[in-house]
Amino acid sequence: MTTPDSLAAAAAKAPGATDPTARQFAGERPAFAPELLAPPPAFAPEAARRDVPALHRSVNGQPLVWLDNGATTHKPRQVIEAVAGFYGAGNSNIHRGAHTMAREATEAYEAGRAAVARFLGAASPDEIVFVRGTTEAVNLVAQSWGRANLGPGDDILVPVLEHHSNIVPWQLVAKETRARVVPVPLRPDGQIDLDAYADRLSVRTRLVALSQASNVLGTVPPVAEMTALAHRYRARVLVDGAQAVAHFPVDVRALDADFYVFSGHKLFAPTGIGALYAKPELLAAMAPWQGGGNMIESVSFDRTDYAPVPHRLEAGTGHIAGVVGLLAAVTWLTGFDREAVAAYEAGLLEHARQALAGVPGLDVIGDAPERIAVLAFTLAGHDPAAVAAWLDRDGIAVRAGHHCAQPALAHYGLDSAVRASLALYNTPEEVDRLAASLRRMQRSG
Ligand code: PMP
């Protein structure tokens, strides 16, 4: 069984685990400063757990084990207090009204935009549009950019791995514009087949829509390389970061993504808030997809002038408290050493793989070398829904079903699987409880 020590060792070997000290002193060993050569402090999940009240409740008489982070994450008290504080004392609509509270709410909202821009490595807050979440962001791009830029005979490349939110909006706009949605197949281990991807790219390709981390297999594809290749064909690339943002640092400019989308609720923030990043030249050319207040310069029955982006794409009153919560969540998460968090999660994933390997009849689906801490599996002789119900009786929350990724499961001849999705606040002991409960289920017949 893996101990926390071996976790740390696995973490050190993990992809993305870089040692800043080693980087700083590459090639030299200053004997006068041995403390600088020590490894960076490892991340301890307790540092995050103590902030998250929901993790301390019990379910069905057992301490909760929350392994459904792919569906949504729990919220640290910093987020809960920020939202409560906004409604308790700061509540006002924004961008209008010449009073103090409107000004304060506007400042908080725009501070949230600036924080998201920094979080994603965008050049300016003006490149960030607030939306309800990933789904709305993809639909916004499909309906605004897509309608203007797609036409008959154009291809939209979508890996089979994608969440339905990154498939169906493209099917809708393809139908309207007579473009085609072209699936990019998977290899048996759950990686995108890059040869097939290269084959399918052509001058007809207008867009590649791919996720930076799969919600069902955990696969992390080589997004920067795939984007560079797409750009050789002058195709645009939309990156779905819904599952990535909570797990490792993102830099939209290093990826050279044209669009990047994510949901706050998978990032320890409230539901109903998320963001779209787009390159400024693309945003500037995007027509409104919804009309209403907040997105106009002036309105008359003869002529309506729109506000500049990003406001042009944010019709109506937004989720102001959600932005306040998102700002608190980003501040909370970035308060940790994110490389250390990624290394910790990689070690935790390795621990989970070893623990689940000891469960008779358990098959993990997919085995991509680069992945986030998500494990989908089947258990011989048991329906995934029955597995989830059994685990729930032990206080362990996992998801069972198609995970809104039916084509990815169909690739394995499945229509349903169990999924354990881990976050920085999960521990090896929780993973051991999962494995022990599954072993008991197998023994019970
Ligand atoms: N893409 C991926 C990869 C996801 O995991 C999810 C949520 N499971 C979505 C898109 C959709 O996110 P939301 O429901 O928050 O819009």
CATH of the domain at 281: 3.40.640.10
Assess if residue 6 is contained within a domain: no
Residue type, 40: P
Assess contact for 225 and 353: CB atoms under 8 A.
no
Rounded Cα distance, 318 and 312, in Å: 12
pLDDT at 20: 34
pLDDT at 96: 73
**162 C-alpha vs ligand 1 centroid, how far in Å?**
10
One domain for residues 91 and 125: yes
pLDDT at 98: 84
Point out the domain boundary residue: 334, 366, 399: 334
Rounded Cα distance, 426 and 214, in Å: 19
pLDDT at 445: 77
Assess if residue 382 is contained within a domain: yes
One domain for residues 274 and 185: yes
One domain for residues 218 and 306: yes
Assess if residue 18 is contained within a domain: no
Full domain range(s) for residue 368: 53-70+336-443
In the chain, which stretches have pLDDT less than 70? 1-41
**Which residues, other chains included, contact 403 with Cβ-Cβ below 8 Å and sequence gap of 6+?**
70, 163, 215, 216, 376, 409, 417, 419
Taking Cα atoms as reference points, which of 375, 372, 378, 370 lies closest to residue 413?
378
One domain for residues 398 and 423: yes
Paired tokens of 224: 């920067």
User: Does 242 contact ligand 1 (Cβ within 6 A)?
Assistant: yes
pLDDT at 135: 98
Point out the domain boundary residue: 301, 334, 367: 334
Taking Cα atoms as reference points, which of 19, 170, 106 lies closest to residue 311?
106
Rounded Cα distance, 163 and 216, in Å: 8
Rounded Cα distance, 158 and 166, in Å: 8
**C-alpha distances out from residue 216 to 136, 158, 163, 400, 417, Å:** 20, 16, 8, 11, 9
pLDDT at 189: 96
The CATH number of whichever domain residue 377 belongs to comes to 3.90.1150.10
Rounded Cα distance, 64 and 433, in Å: 11
Q: State the DSSP code for 234.
A: T
pLDDT at 297: 94
One domain for residues 260 and 153: yes
Point out the domain boundary residue: 334, 368, 391: 334
One domain for residues 329 and 433: no
How far is C-alpha 234 from the geometric centre of its chain's CA atoms?
26
Paired tokens of 86: 């906004």
Taking Cα atoms as reference points, which of 180, 162, 247 lies closest to residue 424?
247
**What is the secondary structure of 120-150 as a DSSP string?**
HT-S-GGGEEEESSHHHHHHHHIIIIIHHH-
Assess if residue 77 is contained within a domain: no
404 is an active site residue:
yes
One domain for residues 58 and 177: no
**Whose alpha carbon is nearest atom 4 of ligand 1?**
242
Assess contact for 421 and 399: CB atoms under 8 A.
yes
User: Does 134 contact ligand 1 (Cβ within 6 A)?
Assistant: yes
**46 C-alpha vs ligand 1 centroid, how far in Å?**
27
One domain for residues 368 and 264: no
The 3-state DSSP class for residue 219 equals: strand
Assess if residue 9 is contained within a domain: no
One domain for residues 64 and 120: no
**What is the secondary structure of 254-279 as a DSSP string?**
HHT-SEEEEEGGGGTS-TT-EEEEE-
- Active-site residue identified among 12, 42, 386, 404: 404
**Which residues, other chains included, contact 337 with Cβ-Cβ below 8 Å and sequence gap of 6+?**
40, 41, 43
Could you check whether the bond before residue 310 is cis, i.e. omega within 30 degrees of 0? yes
One domain for residues 208 and 309: yes
One domain for residues 374 and 281: no
Ligand 1: residue of 134, 158, 261 to mutate (most ligand atoms within 8 A of CB) is: 134
Backbone phi and psi for residue 402, each to the nearest 5 degrees, phi listed first: -95, -5
The total number of structural domains that make up the chain: 2
Assess if residue 26 is contained within a domain: no
Assess if residue 42 is contained within a domain: no
One domain for residues 64 and 111: no
**408 C-alpha vs ligand 1 centroid, how far in Å?**
14
**Whose alpha carbon is nearest atom 8 of ligand 1?**
71
Ligand 1: residue of 162, 167, 276, 404 to mutate (most ligand atoms within 8 A of CB) is: 404
pLDDT at 37: 54
**169 C-alpha vs ligand 1 centroid, how far in Å?**
13
Assess if residue 186 is contained within a domain: yes
